[in-house]
């Protein structure tokens, strides 16, 4: 289960309160306990955060909910990562740290830093099911972070908005002050390379190192606590080998078989249930992708024969794999024609 720092939710709480909205009621609808906001290392399920963003934007009286939330970013919002950012020698070093520890903020996102001509591009792959306001808030927070280091005049070279966040207003344009491209597959912000290598007056390598070590410790704890996601990844990787069992997966996770069983039980699941769920999700994905034959999919899912795969698939979806694929392709064709 992916999780998000409660500090993000704190920014949402404050934004709603300032708009005269009862934040507690919004959190209740999303299924989140406001008491966790007082825990600096507290985390909420990301799926519930999606609901919080959705409900919060629906109640917010002004436009650009994501912009309003992102502008509230403060170094303490990202805990040790925020302080390591402030102590960085250059903006480029700070961006590298942000990429390295992005999953501290949200364990499900993927951030990368690449070179695009005379600029660096920080790309953020949106979490599956993420709300447009959340994507915009993330980029807004990054811009605020950059201005914290380089001053209020900092302006990105270019911005890319993904998904629903592609809808932006004049206020968004004025805040970023650069070219904004909509409908991108992932969110990104381009930053001038020359600016990124300016030595920062607040640089403190010792302070940065101390906070980076704390960020690394926190990140390790997040990864270790997400045993269900780690087990799912290990199962998916081993399926084509046909050697998926509790012993092999436990060994890959550096756990004893008994420890794996206990940890999964604590998360109200079992190895058998995990294996069935991973196979079900991958089977649906492969059939919708329409790039593999049924026999190939059977192999990729670790089944000894196609008949075993077909029986399992009918149990999951109430239809045979071929029926499901035909139905999916027909729906896709109708959508393309409309």
* pLDDT tier for residue 186 given thresholds of 50, 70 and 90: confident
Q: Assess if residue 336 is contained within a domain.
A: no
Q: Assess if residue 79 is contained within a domain.
A: yes
Residue 338, pLDDT score:
56
pLDDT at residue 276 greater than cutoff 70: yes
DSSP-derived pairing of the beta strands 158-162 and 179-184: parallel
Looking at mean pLDDT, say which of 113-127, 133-147, 212-226 comes out highest: 133-147
Same domain for 188 and 101, yes or no, is: yes
Give the domain CATH number at 266: 1.10.10.60
Q: Examine the fold and report which residue of 219, 239, 258 is the final residue of a domain before the chain moves on.
A: 219
Same domain for 171 and 313, yes or no, is: no
Same domain for 145 and 125, yes or no, is: yes
Q: Assess if residue 245 is contained within a domain.
A: yes
Same domain for 147 and 234, yes or no, is: no
Same domain for 308 and 268, yes or no, is: yes
Same domain for 23 and 120, yes or no, is: yes
Q: What is the pLDDT of residues 300-326, one digit of tens each?
A: 999 989 999 999 999 999 999 999 999
pTM over 0.75? The answer is: no
Residue 225, pLDDT score:
63
Q: What is the pLDDT of residues 209-225, one digit of tens each?
A: 899 888 888 877 776 66
Same domain for 72 and 19, yes or no, is: yes
Give the domain CATH number at 215: 3.90.1520.10
Q: Assess if residue 338 is contained within a domain.
A: no
* pLDDT tier for residue 174 given thresholds of 50, 70 and 90: very high
Q: How far is CA 115 from CA 89, 161, 289, in A?
A: 19, 18, 31
Same domain for 25 and 42, yes or no, is: yes
Instruction: Count structural domains, the chain.
Output: 2
Q: Assess if residue 240 is contained within a domain.
A: yes
Residue 177, pLDDT score:
96
Same domain for 232 and 201, yes or no, is: no
Run of H or E residues at 270 = none
Q: Which residues contact 298 (CB under 8 A, 6 or more apart)?
A: 305, 306, 308, 309
* pLDDT tier for residue 76 given thresholds of 50, 70 and 90: confident
Mean pLDDT of 4-11: 93
Q: Examine the fold and report which residue of 166, 196, 219 is the final residue of a domain before the chain moves on.
A: 219
Q: What is the pLDDT of residues 78-98, one digit of tens each?
A: 889 999 999 999 999 999 999
Q: Residue 239 belongs to what domain range?
A: 226-331
Same domain for 111 and 239, yes or no, is: no
DSSP 74: -
pLDDT at residue 165 greater than cutoff 70: no
Percentage of the residues of the chain whose pLDDT score is greater than 90: 57
Q: Assess if residue 311 is contained within a domain.
A: yes
pLDDT at residue 238 greater than cutoff 80: yes
Q: Which residue has the higher pLDDT, 41 or 179?
A: 179
pLDDT at residue 54 greater than cutoff 70: yes
For residues 217 and 145, the answer to whether their CB atoms sit within 8 Å is: no
One-letter-per-residue 3-state SS of 220-252 = HHHHHHCHHHHHHHHHHHHHHHCCCCHHHHHHH
Mean pLDDT of 161-185: 82
pLDDT at residue 163 greater than cutoff 70: no
* pLDDT tier for residue 115 given thresholds of 50, 70 and 90: very high
Same domain for 282 and 181, yes or no, is: no
Cβ-count burial of 172 within 10 angstroms (0-12 exposed, 13-18 middle, 19+ buried)? buried
Q: Which residue has the higher pLDDT, 230 or 139?
A: 139
Same domain for 163 and 240, yes or no, is: no
């Amino acid at each position: 289960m992916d999780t998000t720092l409660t500090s993000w939710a704190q920014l949402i709480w404050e934004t709603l309160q300032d708009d005269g909205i009862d934040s507690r009621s919004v959190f209740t609808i999303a299924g989140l306990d406001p008491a966790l906001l007082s825990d600096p290392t507290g985390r909420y399920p990301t799926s519930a955060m999606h609901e919080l963003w959705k409900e919060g934007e629906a109640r917010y009286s002004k436009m650009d909910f994501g912009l309003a939330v992102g502008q509230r970013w403060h170094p303490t919002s990202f805990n040790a990562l925020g302080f390591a950012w402030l102590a960085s020698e250059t903006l480029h070093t700070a961006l590298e740290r942000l990429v390295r520890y992005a999953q501290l903020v949200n364990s499900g996102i993927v951030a990368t830093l690449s070179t695009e001509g005379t600029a660096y591009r920080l790309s953020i792959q949106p979490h599956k099911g993420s709300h447009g306001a959340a994507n915009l808030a993330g980029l807004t927070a990054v811009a605020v972070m950059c201005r914290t280091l380089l001053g209020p005049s900092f302006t990105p070279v270019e911005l890319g908005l993904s998904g629903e966040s592609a809808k932006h207003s004049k206020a968004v344009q004025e805040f970023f002050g650069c070219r904004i491209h909509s409908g991108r597959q992932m969110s990104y912000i381009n930053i001038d390379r020359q600016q990124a290598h300016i030595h920062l007056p607040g640089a403190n390598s010792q302070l940065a190192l101390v906070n980076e070590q704390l960020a690394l410790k926190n990140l390790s704890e997040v990864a270790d606590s997400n045993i269900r996601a780690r087990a799912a990844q290990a199962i998916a990787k081993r399926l084509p080998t046909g050697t998926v069992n509790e012993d092999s997966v436990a060994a890959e996770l550096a756990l004893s078989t008994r420890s794996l069983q206990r940890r999964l039980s604590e998360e109200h699941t079992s190895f058998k249930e995990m294996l069935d769920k991973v196979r079900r999700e991958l089977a649906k994905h492969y059939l919708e992708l329409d790039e593999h034959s049924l026999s190939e999919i059977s192999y990729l899912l670790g089944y000894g024969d196609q008949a075993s795969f077909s029986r399992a698939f009918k149990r999951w979806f109430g239809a045979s794999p071929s029926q499901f694929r035909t139905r999916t392709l027909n729906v896709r064709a109708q959508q393309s024609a409309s």
